[in-house]
């Protein structure tokens, strides 16, 4: 196992579940992992929240929920769920602050991916 996988496990990620979805192809998983935080949905989410465009924010957050869930990035997944659910109910109160928390987690993921 790589240093990156070990760090993700220590961070509380569901690597076993992710590896099942990636057919135990660690190389493919790591290549996908390296581009997670570059997903346009992060910028779209922030922009939509700043504009109070709840439908667009929900779409971006829901996209990220799927990506983060499939990647087994549990800390980030949990953070985006805290954004998705209020938006689903039509409420964006506090979502921009939660978005900043998600971005901080993205920074942590970027640091982890540099451990190789």
How does pLDDT run across 22-57, given as a tens digit for each residue? 999 999 999 999 999 999 999 999 999 999 999 999
How many Cβ atoms are within 10 Å of 65's Cβ, its own excluded?
19
Q: What band does 115 get if pLDDT is binned at 50, 70 and 90? A: confident
Q: CA-CA distance, 71 to 47, in Å (whole number)?
A: 24
Find the radius of gyration of the CA atoms of the chain.
14
| pLDDT value, residue 102 | 97
Provide mean pLDDT across the span 6-34: 96
71 and 32 Cβ atoms separated by less than 8 Å: yes
Is 80 exceeded by the pLDDT of residue 116?
no
Give tens-digit pLDDT for 53-101: 999 999 999 999 999 999 999 999 999 999 999 999 999 999 999 999 9
| Alpha helices (runs of H) in the chain, residue ranges in sequence order | 3-11, 15-21, 26-33, 40-50, 54-70, 74-88, 95-113
Q: Does domain 3-113 have CATH number 3.30.70?
A: no
Is 80 exceeded by the pLDDT of residue 1?
no
Q: In Å, what is the CA distance from 76 to each residue of 42, 54, 66?
A: 12, 20, 11
């Amino acid at each position: 196992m790589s240093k990156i996988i070990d760090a993700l496990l220590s961070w509380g990620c569901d690597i076993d579940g992710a590896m099942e979805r990636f057919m135990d192809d660690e190389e493919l998983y790591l290549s996908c992992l390296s581009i997670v935080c570059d997903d346009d949905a992060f910028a779209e989410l922030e922009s939509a929240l700043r504009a109070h465009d709840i439908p667009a924010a929900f779409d971006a957050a829901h996209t990220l929920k799927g990506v983060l869930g499939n990647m087994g990035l549990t800390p980030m997944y949990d953070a985006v769920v805290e954004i998705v659910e209020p938006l689903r109910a039509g409420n964006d109160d506090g979502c921009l602050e939660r978005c900043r928390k998600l971005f901080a987690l993205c920074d942590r993921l970027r640091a982890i991916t540099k451990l190789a």
